[in-house]
Amino acid sequence: MCGIAGWIDSKVEMSEKMDVLGKMSRTLDRRGPDENGIYVNKNTALIHRRLVVIDRENGKQPMAVNHNGTTFVIVYNGELYNTESLREELRADGFHFRGHSDTEVVLKSYIKYGKRCAEKLNGIFAFAVFNSEDKSVFLCRDRIGVKPLFYYEYEGGLLFASEIKSLLASGIVKPQIDEQGLYEIFFLGPARTPSCGIFKGVFELNPGEFAVYKDEKLTRETYFSVEAKEHTDDESQTIEKTRQLLTDAIQRQLVSDVPLCFFLSGGLDSSIITKVASDYFREHKLGKINTYSVEYRDNEKYFERSLFQPNADFEYISMMSKSADSRHREIILENVLLADALYDSVKARDLPGYVDVDSSLLLFCREIKRDYTVALSGECADELFGGYPWYHNEKILFEECFPWSKSQDIRRSILKDGILKNGEEYVRQRYLDTVNKAPKLKSDSRIDARMREMFYLNYYWFMQCLLERKDRCSMYSGLEVRVPFCDYRLVEYAYNMPWELKAWNGREKGIVRKAFEDILPEEICWRKKSPYPKTHNPIYFKVCVERVRKVLEKKTVLTELLDKDGIESIIECPDKISSPWYGQLMQAPQILAYIIELDYWFEEYNIEII
C-alpha cells in the first residue's frame, strides 16, 4: 500500500512548485515510509509514497511506460489479486514485463483497455495515470471503496490525494466548512455522505467510480455497482458458492513478498480467514501463521453483557488459535493511552471519527507494525450477510431511518438551541437518497425488498465508515490491511441472495456459518455476534470527562456551538442515553471522546466556518 497525490494546473509550471509538491508528499509519509518519488511534466505533477510489499526493485513509482510514442505514468495505491491472470492476458497481446509488480500490470492494463481497465481489476486500489499525448489524467477507485481517493477541482486545475491532509498542504484547499459540513459532522458523523469530503470543495470518488480530467474538466463515471438479479442457486449450491468465493478471496490475498499476519477476534469472520489461511500455509509448507488480538487493561473486571456485546472474546480467541495452530499474541491497551491516541486518530482521518474504536485500532496496528507490514482482517461480513442486530429485529428493520443512528436527540442535546435546526431533515434526506437507489426486482418479497435497501444503507454508509477507519488507522503506521470479505464477486453474490438463505436457520450470517461449519470449532461457528471490543474500564470515562470539561472552559469556534448543560447531563447521567450516538458502542464515554476529537480537529486544522 502507498500514498498518492497529484496536481494539474494549466497556468502553473510544476517544476517551479517542487517545494509545495515536497510538502504534499511528506504529509503521506506514514502511508509510504519506504520510498518516494515525484514526476513532473510541465503543468502536471504526480506524487508517490511507497510501502514496499511486492517487487521492491521493479515496482518503483511513479512508473512510466512509453507505448507507441506516448508516455503513460502511474501512481498507484493498492493490491491487485488477479495479477497473474491479467499479466498473462496482456502478454498474449504482446506486452512485456520487467518485473512481477501489480503496478506494472495495472498501468499496462490501462494502456491496453483505457478507462475500461477498471472492469478488469480485482483488488483494493486507487490510482492515477497521466497520458503525455492528450495531457489527460485518469483517476480510479476500487469497486468496494477500500482505498481512498479525494480530489479538489478549481478553475483551471485539479488536486487529488489519498488523504485530505495532502490537499490542504497545497495551500489551494482551505480548511473551511460550510453549513453542510456542520450537518455532516454533528448529525451524521463519524459517517459521511457518499463523495462528501466535509471540507468545502473536497470530494471523494465513490466506490466503483473512475474519472477523467482533460481540458480543465473532470468527468466522473460509475463502472461498478450492485445489480438486482434473480438468485437461481438452491440452498446447497448457495452454501457451496459462498464457501468457494470467500475461500478463493482469502487465498488470493495471501500473496506478498513480505511476511503477513492475521487479526483474530474469536468471532466468525476473522476465524474463517485464520483457518483458511492456516490450512493453506500447512498445505504449501509455509509454517505456522501469526495471529493478533486486542484487549484493554483490566477489561475483564468491568465487562457488562448487552444486546450488542453479549460475551467477551478472550476464551474464543484461545480456542481458535489452538484450532488453527497459530502463534498468537494479545496486545493489551492502556486506557489513558487510548484517550491520548484520540488526537492521532484525528490526524489519521483528517476528521473527527469513530473515537476509541479508531484509537484502539491505531494503537493495535502500531504494535503489529513492529513485526509485520501486511495483515488480513474480517471487516464487512456483517454488512454483506446481515450480521447486525438491526437486520433481525423487525421493529427496527422497517423504521425509515439509519438503523445505527435512529434518533438525533442525543446529537441535538449537545448543541445550543437554534444551531443547525434542519439537522433531522438533512439526515432523513440522506437516508431517502440512499434507499431510493437500491436496485430491486418486481418479484422481491416485502422482506427481500427491504433487505436490499438495508444492504445499500450498510454498504454505502456503515461499511464505508469502517473501511475508512481500517485504512487510515492502519496506514498511519504503514501497515497494509487486506479485507477478503470485500471481494466484489462475494458482494455481488450476497446482494442477490434471498434473506431466507442469507439468514440460514434464522441466524445472523447464517449462510456463512453453514458454509464453514466443518472447519471451525462449533462454539465459534455458532457463537452470537460480538462487535469490535471496547473498553469498559471506568478510567477511560473519567479521563474523557476531565478533558471535555477543559474543552468547555475555552472560548472557541466550536464551543460557541456547544450546549454545556447538555454535555454535563451526559456526564452526570451516562446510563440514561437511550440509543448509541452511532453504531452499537458509541455511548457516553464515546460521545465525550467525539467532542474531544472535534475540539482537537478545529484547533489543529484551524477550521473556519463559512
Contact 175, 202 (CB under 8 A): no
Which residue in the list 2, 380, 473, 525 is annotated as catalytic?
A: 2
Residue 414 to residue 592: CA distance in whole angstroms: 10
Residue 343 to residue 385: CA distance in whole angstroms: 33
Residue 415 to residue 21: CA distance in whole angstroms: 40
Residue 372 to residue 327: CA distance in whole angstroms: 14
Residue 202 to residue 96: CA distance in whole angstroms: 39
- Residue 440 C-alpha cell reads as 430491486
At 194, the amino acid letter reads P
Check if 365 is active-site: no
The H or E element that residue 47 is part of is strand 44-50
Contact 567, 581 (CB under 8 A): no
Q: Cβ-count burial of 505 within 10 angstroms (0-12 exposed, 13-18 middle, 19+ buried)? A: exposed
- Residue 230 C-alpha cell reads as 434473480
Which has the closest alpha carbon to 594: 422, 346, 426? 346
In sequence order, which residues have a C-beta less than 8 Å from that of residue 223 and are 6 or more positions away? Answer: 115, 116, 118, 119, 143, 208, 209, 210
In sequence order, which residues have a C-beta less than 8 Å from that of residue 146 and are 6 or more positions away? Answer: 78, 124, 467, 471, 483, 486
Looking at residue 38, the DSSP 8-state letter turns out to be E
Helix extents (H) in 13-119: 18-26, 83-92, 102-113
Q: Name the 3-class secondary structure at 336.
A: helix
Which has the closest alpha carbon to 310: 527, 10, 483? 527
Give the residue carrying C-alpha cell 471451525: 520
In sequence order, which residues have a C-beta less than 8 Å from that of residue 485 and are 6 or more positions away? Answer: 246, 249, 269, 378, 379, 380, 381, 384
Q: In 334-419, at which residue ranges do the beta strands (DSSP E only) sit?
A: 374-376
In sequence order, which residues have a C-beta less than 8 Å from that of residue 250 and are 6 or more positions away? Answer: 272, 273, 276, 277, 280, 376, 484
Give the residue numbers marked as catalytic.
2
